[in-house]
Amino acid sequence: MTRNRADVAVVGGGILGLAHAYLAAKHGRSVVVFERGPRAQGASVRNFGMIWPIGQAPGPMHEMALRSRRLWLEALEWSMLPFLPTGSLLVVYREDERAVVQEFCELTRNQDYGCEWIGPDAVVSRTNAVRTEGLLGGLWSPVELTVDPRLILWQFPEFLAAQFGVQFCYGTVVRSIDLPVVEAGSQKWEVQSAIVCSGDDFETLYPDLFAESGINRCKLQMMRTRPQPGGWQLGPSLAAGLTLRFYDSFAICKTLETLKRRIASETPEYDHWVIHGLVSQTAGGELTLGDSHEYGRAVDIFDKPKIDELILRYIRTFLAAPNLEIAQRWHGVYSKHPEKPFVTMCPVDHVRIVTAAGGSGMTLSFGLAEKTVQEMGL
């Protein structure tokens, strides 16, 4: 049997796989990408499309997110795929939320976040999408970008194929990697290196490594509205107080404890399902709304209407969009380590597993890929 050849095999056509394919190809490597589905169907097409550096803890993770954002911009501009430089706005209605946001601005003043506390008038000048009753102000950040994840994940491969000759094998499961041979579907490929970005599939490749890695699954429920009428624009992607207890960035704030205690006693149901409220808008005008977090290796295949109601109840407290009728509901699953912001494993020389970027995989994808490509000397 004649063997197909490439320098690098990438397993997984999600955003981590595509980012690795892009950077390896940019460095002159011939690349083949294997994806189990007829097209990407994992976490990468089920998210908000938020490139969200403000969620990363100060230091190396925030630096990686900013580097990743720059690489995202390079890739988006080169491929002429659409994105919106929306920035982000975390709106504040409670004094304990204001305390956290102001402390965060103070603590990160000399770092590269570029965010600032703004009062209610300045919030309203940036968006007409938020409720003004009781509005105390917000955390404005100009850095965040918004992409349409489905469009990017399905069209970026065309750019990679046309620009760099990256080969894509969809509907093809990689069953084993024993370098130089990769067995994928009914094909055998000969490659020098392999990068495994298999998302929440822990069973097909290196199951023993995954079993002992501590990596878990997390299920998130999501919704999308119909396109908003009359070309109504959200402006910046929105978050609110509950988000302050979610991202690592805000964990540096001492004032966070008071807010957490208040939420635990006032609305324990939000803690139980780890709910916060994020809103982004697609190029088609729909609003993407979410989300909740249920952790565990076994993912409940059924969604819980109660969780959707809780998410909507919270989002209605700050979002003033013309039409919140829900047109789509789905859930996504990502892999996550309880302590680490991502996981890389090296089962043998020239093979890397890169996974578990949790709720920040879109944000970190290109930065993580750059790190892998450098470490592997590609």
Ligand X SMILES: Cc1cc2nc3c(=O)[nH]c(=O)nc-3n(C[C@H](O)[C@H](O)[C@H](O)COP(=O)(O)OP(=O)(O)OC[C@H]3O[C@@H](n4cnc5c(N)ncnc54)[C@H](O)[C@@H]3O)c2cc1C
The only residue of 34, 83, 93, 156 in contact with ligand X, by rule CB under 6 A: 34
17 binds ligand X (CB under 6 A): yes
Per CB under 6 A, which of residues 313..352 are in contact with ligand X?
332, 334
The tokens describing 10, both together, are: 């990438």
By CB under 6 A, residue 140 contacts ligand X: no
Per-residue string for binding with ligand X, 181-220, x by CB under 6 A? Answer: ----------------xxxxx--xx--------------x
If binding is defined by CB under 6 A, does position 174 make contact with ligand X?
A: yes
C-alpha to C-alpha distance for 328 and 326, rounded to whole angstroms: 6
Task: Report d(CA 211, CA 311) in Å as an integer.
Answer: 32
Verify binding: residue 291, ligand X, rule CB under 6 A: yes
44: contact with ligand X by CB under 6 A? yes
Per rule CB under 6 A, is residue 277 in the interface with ligand X?
A: no
Helix axes 361-375, 60-79, angle to 10 degrees: 90
Q: Does residue 22 bind ligand X (CB under 6 A)?
A: no
Minimum CB distance to ligand X, residue 270 (Å): 17
Q: 149-164 and 15-26 helices cross at what angle (nearest 10)?
A: 20
Transcribe 27-95 into DSSP letters: TT--EEEEESSSS--SGGGSS--EE-GGGSPTTHHHHHHHHHHHHHHHHHHHHT---B---EEEEE-SH
Is there binding between residue 145 and ligand X (CB under 6 A)? no
Site string for ligand X, 51-70 (x = CB under 6 A): -x------------------
Instruction: Name the burial class of residue 226, with classes exposed (0-12), middle (13-18) and buried (19+) by CB atoms within 10 angstroms of its CB.
Output: middle
What residue ranges bind ligand X (CB under 6 A)?
11-17, 34-37, 40-44, 46-50, 52, 173-174, 197-201, 204-205, 220, 222, 290-291, 332, 334, 355, 357-363
